[in-house]
Amino acid sequence: MKKLTVLGATGSIGASTLDVVARHPDRFEVAALTGNSRADLLYEQCLRHRPRYAVVGAEGAAALAARLRGAGLATEVLADPQALEFVAALPEVDTVMAAIVGAAGLMPTLAAVRAGKRVLLANKEALVMAGALFMAAVKAHGATLLPIDSEHNAVFQSLPANYAGDPAAAGIRHVVLTASGGPFRSVPLERFATVTPAEACAHPNWSMGRKISVDSATLMNKGLEVIEAHWLFDLAPDQIEVVVHPQSVIHSLVQYVDGSVIAELGNPDMRTPIAHALAWPERIAAGVAPLDLPGLARLDFERPDGTRFPCLALAYRALREGGNAATVLNAANEVAVAAFLAGKLPFPGIAAVIAATLDAVPGAKLPDLAAILAVDAAARRIASDQLVRRQP
């Protein structure tokens, strides 16, 4: 019986994780759930999974605790700033699903790594912000890191079982990350200035949270995944290619020097990579419909349009520059996306704010976590200043 902490239980990845877990009560037990501001959903999840701990924002903690007591549950509700790190490192927990979106997920995910857990990584920002430090911690503390993003999970499944971070030794030429192209793949460019948050969040294939949906619409999500792939698989920037694949059936591919290409296919449902990582190296049912190959009719591929998706080039720029550039990129993107979702920035302004912030922050090395957090804070201030300058 594996015991789990689910960081970000009330988000789309967290909810999908709990769906898979509920299908295998003989295999998994939930020790802790976290949900920030979505106390009502967290309450329902606690009723079903009866965790020892629930972590929620301070404003909802008392009410959630009272409701759980009224329902006869002994779940302890936590809301202090260190609660996320505490439940990520619980001694009785084997596996931690790291599904908190954005920079907020860095510290609890690091706590799980430093506790030597099996970490199911759905928080790509942890690697984007602190890749070198994060991967060093994985090695130093004997943690097991399994990727949950469908693309990286597909790469993981397509690599040799004994892959040890040496592409040349494994005969790898390059890796191809597929992108759906989001909701604006064929929308006229002149429409971009009037795109609404609702339109940007209406992903054609995947059900995701608002922030990641906007990232998919700008293709920044794929840019962050390029940086993540660099750290996960020790790949150079030129060994990571992005291809637009609207059907989202092939999740990624690995091309080998002998001409072979190995790909992972499946319906666009995050329960597949979640189930794979939960049970790895075994396989368990995920509740996902089998792929109907004759019903697909066709699979399309195209190169990303740099004019339509400038955020992808910004991510490659940050990866090649190294140092603090990826941390700056991530911070500026989070500020810009939040402003767009709040109706304070037009859709094309997201890339503009990120580019201006990258230009404004001097390059520097990041020797430790304190330096990473300082750069993150400085980049957010500069990105916020860029927003002010763009106000009419």
Distance CA(357)–CA(77), nearest Å, equals: 39
**215 within domain boundaries:** yes
Would you say residue 207 has pLDDT above 80?
no
Q: Which two structure tokens, joined as six digits, stand for 387? A: 């927003």
Beta-carbon contacts of residue 248 (< 8 Å; ≥ 6 apart): 178, 180, 205, 206, 268
**347 within domain boundaries:** yes
- The arithmetic mean of pLDDT across residues 99-103, rounded, is 88
Name the 3-class secondary structure at 88.
Answer: helix
Number of domains observed in the structure of the chain: 3
Residue that is last in its domain, among 221, 246, 267: 267
Domain region containing 62: 2-147
For the ranges 157-171, 206-220, 259-273, 324-338, which has the lowest average pLDDT? 206-220
Amino acid 54: pLDDT: 97
Would you say residue 392 has pLDDT above 60?
no
Residue with tokens 């349009």: 305
Q: Are residues 90 and 8 in the same domain?
A: yes
Amino acid 260: pLDDT: 98
Q: Are residues 189 and 71 in the same domain?
A: no
Question: Which one-letter DSSP state was computed for residue 49?
Answer: H
CATH code of residue 364 = 1.10.1740.10
- The arithmetic mean of pLDDT across residues 202-226, rounded, is 85
pLDDT in tens, 108-132: 999 999 999 999 999 988 999 999 9
**351 within domain boundaries:** yes
pLDDT in tens, 286-301: 999 999 989 988 899 9
Predicted TM-score (pTM) above 0.85 = yes
**276 within domain boundaries:** no
pLDDT in tens, 238-288: 999 999 999 999 999 999 999 999 999 999 999 999 999 999 999 999 999
- The arithmetic mean of pLDDT across residues 21-50, rounded, is 94
